[in-house]
Amino acid sequence: MTNRREFLHMGMAALSLPIAARAGASPGIFGDGEELTTEPLYKIIFDKRYSACARFAEEIQRRALATHAIRADVTQIWYDDLYHRWKRGPAAIAGLTAPGAIFCLEMLARDAGMRVALRVDHRRVGARVEHEFAGPVESLTLAAELETSAERWPEKMAEMVTRFPIERGRTMTARYSDRADEARGEWEHLVTWVIAPAVKQATHA
């Protein structure tokens, strides 16, 4: 079990290193109208320090799914919950947090056979928010709506994680940008993410 000293080291690394891991881009084809089976999510985590994360959580709750609030630190949810759950086997989680939280959870998830299957970095640039998407081709249609979602992008991210496919095609990367005037200066960088069991990629004719 990861001890508190190791947690401290991971937290320091999260603050001092750029979050640079990106999934490789590759083209893919997904059949129109094909039904998706969504990934069951054990926990959906949000950082209650930020209004964008709170709106994400409200949309998740509106969809009748449970959320778990943190204040940057994932130590408690790890020791009280995830460590014990992942000892029984992989279970997908998702969230909208600051980069440090996903950095730590990604490291901890590896021993349970889990990986980051979706990552969308949100960075404020003036009055706009830039969104950098890395995830399955099946999520691209929702990702493209970030171009016009404006201040409602957290709600769009809640929709994306709750509709995340259990069977996934090729990984794609893309960038989107739109205005977002809410809570100017409250945050500079947030991340929407899904950590899920590794699966075989779906093939689409």
Q: Split the chain (205 residues) into runs of 10 and give each run's mean pLDDT.
A: 50 40 31 67 97 96 95 95 96 97 96 96 91 97 94 96 95 92 76 89 52
Return d(Cα 146, Cα 93) in angstroms, integer: 22
Residue 26: count of CB within 10 angstroms of its CB: 11
> Which residues pair with residue 136 across a beta bridge?
171
Return d(Cα 93, Cα 78) in angstroms, integer: 12
Three-state SS for the chain is CCCHHHHHHHHHHHHHCCCCCCCCCCCCCCCCCCCCCECCEEEEEEECCCHHHHHHHHHHHHCCCCCEEECCCCHHHHHHHHHHHHHCCCCEEEEEECHHHHHHHHHHHHHHCEEEEEEEEEEEECCEEEEEEEEEHHHHHHHHHHHCCHHHHHHHHHHHHHCCECCECCEEEEEEEEECCCCCCCCCEEEEEEEEECCCECCCC
Q: Quick check: 123 and 144 in contact, CB under 8 A?
A: no
pTM of this prediction? 0.81
pLDDT the model gives residue 11: 47
Return d(Cα 177, Cα 194) in angstroms, integer: 21
pLDDT the model gives residue 32: 42
pLDDT the model gives residue 29: 30
